Amino acid sequence: MSEPILEFDDVDIEYSTRGDNAVHAVNDASFAIEEHDYFGLVGESGCGKSTIADAIVGGLDENGEVTSGAIRFKGKEIQDYSEKQFNKEIRWKEISVIPQSSMNSLDPVMKLSQQAVEMAKYHTDLSKAEAVDRLRDLFDVVGLSESRIHDYPHQFSGGMQQRAIIAFSLFLRPSLIIADEPTTALDVIMQDQILDHINELKDDWNISMLMITHDISVVFENCDSMAVMHGGQVAEAGSTVDVFDRPRHPYAILLQNAFPDVRYPDRELAVIEGHPPQLREKPDFCTFADRCPWSTDECYDGAPDPQPIEGDESHMAWCVRAHEMEELAAEHLEKPPEASSILEGSR
């Protein structure tokens, strides 16, 4: 296996608030994205996904801080980079971001070709003509007509704007793209088309991707590996095949049963009842324990350590009962025989 391009090593991220208490948004988070891998980060609203993305690109809100652990990009610790250092060394060139909505990402008063020229001026030695040519090639890659490069953003539909953003995110040939809910604003057909384009790029360009989403099926269909989060903690991480076939954290197990799948319209969807706790202090317990059907006193006795599944260090579950889950959750783990087809796109 190649070296990770990005590593989270026991990372804590806090937001200070008025008064004494902070929000402990991310706690002891560890995972690694291998080079040329598409990595999905999935979990319910508020579990800390965007905080993780923001911390990677030095874009935490003013009151946010990585308080312990290390974030390594290509082996170098970047968690303490100043914004200036980050912009100079990493942003766009090494790591670029596809935001949730394209709405505010493109300059409305500049033609797209001009925006490419501006970007090239600040970050590259490309001439104007070369910058425009590069954008033209990228339009082709994301399935936009090359003839539209001199248009203004408002001349594009929402889906086309989002494709243009993807083109710009590739403009400086970064090695890692962070896509935070890249397709939520789009209809289902457009989502599929864009995800197909993103997948094609992976083989044509040597890029890795961190894809953040609420939708576990998007991850199953598009990513090589993944992490599942709940309540500021990583629950499970591993290859998509392992997490799909052998989930061993209760939240990961229940989450799979909570998503509608057009292929099984009659399947009864599980509901994950309750809410994650407010994390005003660093949790020294499993934040899923209150909602977990299999929790015991042990789940409240310290934050869970990662357990390798069947001795495999690349598949970890942060659950004290991980080794019992196959038995305990047997009825939830049964899958229709055709279920593995959902993974076809990721292999």
Q: What is the DSSP letter of 99?
A: -
Q: Which residues pair with 34 in a beta bridge?
A: 4
15 lies in the binding site for ligand ATP (CB under 6 A): yes
Contact indicator for 178, 57 with CB cutoff of 8 Å: yes
CB of 288 to ligand ATP, least distance (A): 14
Q: Using DSSP, state whether 247 is helix, strand or coil.
A: coil
Query: What are the distances in angstroms from CA 302 to CA 233, 278, 319?
Result: 13, 17, 11
| H/E segment holding residue 236 | strand 233-239
Rounded to 10°, the helix 128-141/188-204 angle is 120
Q: Token digits for 245?
A: 């076939």
Q: Token digits for 340?
A: 């593995």
**Residue 241 half-sphere exposure toward CB, CA atoms < 13 A:** 7
> Which residues, 82 to 121, sit near ligand ATP by CB under 6 A?
none
Segment near ligand ATP (CB under 6 A); pick from 15-23, 102-110, 146-154, 329-337? 15-23
Q: Which of 21, 63, 145, 341 binds ligand ATP (CB under 6 A)?
A: 63
155 lies in the binding site for ligand ATP (CB under 6 A): no
CB of 23 to ligand ATP, least distance (A): 4
CB of 31 to ligand ATP, least distance (A): 15
Contact characters 199-218, ligand ATP, x per CB under 6 A? ---------------x----
CB of 15 to ligand ATP, least distance (A): 3
Nearest to 246 by CA among 225, 238, 341: 238
Q: Which of 4, 40, 48, 58 binds ligand ATP (CB under 6 A)?
A: 48
Q: Which of residues 51 and 115 has its CB atom nearest to ligand ATP in the complex? A: 51
Q: What is the DSSP letter of 262?
A: T
CB of 232 to ligand ATP, least distance (A): 7
Contact indicator for 41, 179 with CB cutoff of 8 Å: no
Contact characters 18-47, ligand ATP, x per CB under 6 A? -----x-x-----------------x-xxx
Q: Which of residues 51 and 162 has its CB atom nearest to ligand ATP in the complex? A: 51
Q: Which of residues 18 and 84 has its CB atom nearest to ligand ATP in the complex? A: 18
CB of 214 to ligand ATP, least distance (A): 6
H helical segments located in 105-187: 112-123, 128-141, 158-169
Residue 253 has phi, psi (to 5 degrees) of -65, -50
Q: Which residues pair with 9 in a beta bridge?
A: 70
As a whole number of angstroms, the distance between CA 341 and CA 264 comes to: 13
287 lies in the binding site for ligand ATP (CB under 6 A): no
Q: Which of 28, 37, 40, 49 binds ligand ATP (CB under 6 A)?
A: 49
**Would you tell me which residues interact with ligand ATP (CB under 6 A)?**
15, 17, 23, 25, 43, 45-51, 61, 63-64, 214
